């Protein structure tokens, strides 16, 4: 059975983005990309909220074709173009999209169907608002965070709508040379 993982770059004080979706405080580099790459490329299904999906669509499909693409641009673009995408949105229409399914209602049933359709990890990239909906329905199995050494003060919180005290197991911890700390937790049964 597949499991759902929230993968996010976050501030120490628990924000996914600034109040106007600023993410300039998020540090990413070759070391961080390389560490996540293997795990990302092992997945067949990527899940997004509408805004993050639109952000991804504006960059990744052509990232490898730009002048001087980085190794990360090339590899991640290749993976992105072929991965099955799920978008949580009440307003987007599926018809105009490629290899993309829109979930607009029946969240619990649709996500459970998704989990049954694969043995692999389903990764939610960023997408804090979609993350909140999934937390409210108790559907997230794993949290994979890159914690940035910064207090942002206000913004879009990582966590919202946690209704049940949830014990976690720490699976991995990793410190990057930039001071970003990666922590991966799974929900205890």
Partner 1 sequence: MTNLIYVANTSLDGYTEDQDGKFDWTDPGEEYFTFITDLVRTMRTHLYGRQMYETMMVWETDPNLAAESTLMRNFAEIWQAANNIVYSTTLETISTRKTQLSQTFNPEAIRQLKADSEADILIGGPELAAHAFRAGLIDEIHLFLIPILVGGGKSALPDNVRLDLELLEEHRFRDGTVHLSYRTRQRTVN
Binding site for partner 1 (CB under 8 A): 12-14, 143, 147, 149-154, 158-159, 162-170, 173, 175, 179-181, 183, 185
Q: Shortest gap between Cβ of 15 and partner 1 (angstroms)? A: 10
- The CA distance from 18 to 59, in Å, is 21
Q: Shortest gap between Cβ of 13 and partner 1 (angstroms)? A: 4
Q: Shortest gap between Cβ of 178 and partner 1 (angstroms)? A: 8
Identify which of 179, 180, 141, 134 has the alpha carbon closest to the alpha carbon of residue 158: 134
Q: Shortest gap between Cβ of 186 and partner 1 (angstroms)? A: 10
Q: Shortest gap between Cβ of 111 and partner 1 (angstroms)? A: 18
- Which of 93, 188 has the CB closer to partner 1? 188
- The CA distance from 39 to 49, in Å, is 21
Instruction: List helix spans (H) across 42-148.
Output: 50-57, 71-82, 107-116, 128-136
- The CA distance from 90 to 109, in Å, is 16
Buried b (16+ CB within 10 A) or exposed e, 14-33: ebbbbeeeebebbebeeebb
- Which of 98, 170 has the CB closer to partner 1? 170
DSSP state of 66: S
| Residue bearing tokens 């949105």 | 89
């Amino acid at each position: 059975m597949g499991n759902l993982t929230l993968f996010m770059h976050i501030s120490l004080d628990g924000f996914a983005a600034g109040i106007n979706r600023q993410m300039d405080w998020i540090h990413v580099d070759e070391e961080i990309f390389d560490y996540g790459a293997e795990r990302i490329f092992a997945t067949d299904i990527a899940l997004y909220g509408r805004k993050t999906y639109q952000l991804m669509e504006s960059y990744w499909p052509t990232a490898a074709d730009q002048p001087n693409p980085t190794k990360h641009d090339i590899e991640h673009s290749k993976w992105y173009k072929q991965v099955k995408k799920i978008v949580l949105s009440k307003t987007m229409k599926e018809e105009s999209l490629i290899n993309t399914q829109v979930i607009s209602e029946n969240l619990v049933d649709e996500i459970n169907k998704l989990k049954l359709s694969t043995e692999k990890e389903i990764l939610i990239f960023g997408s804090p608002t979609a993350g909140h909906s999934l937390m409210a329905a108790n559907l997230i199995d794993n949290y994979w965070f890159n914690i940035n050494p910064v207090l942002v003060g206000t913004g879009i919180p990582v966590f919202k709508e946690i209704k049940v005290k949830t014990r976690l197991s720490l699976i991995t911890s990793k410190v990057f040379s930039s001071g970003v700390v990666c922590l991966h937790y799974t929900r205890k049964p």
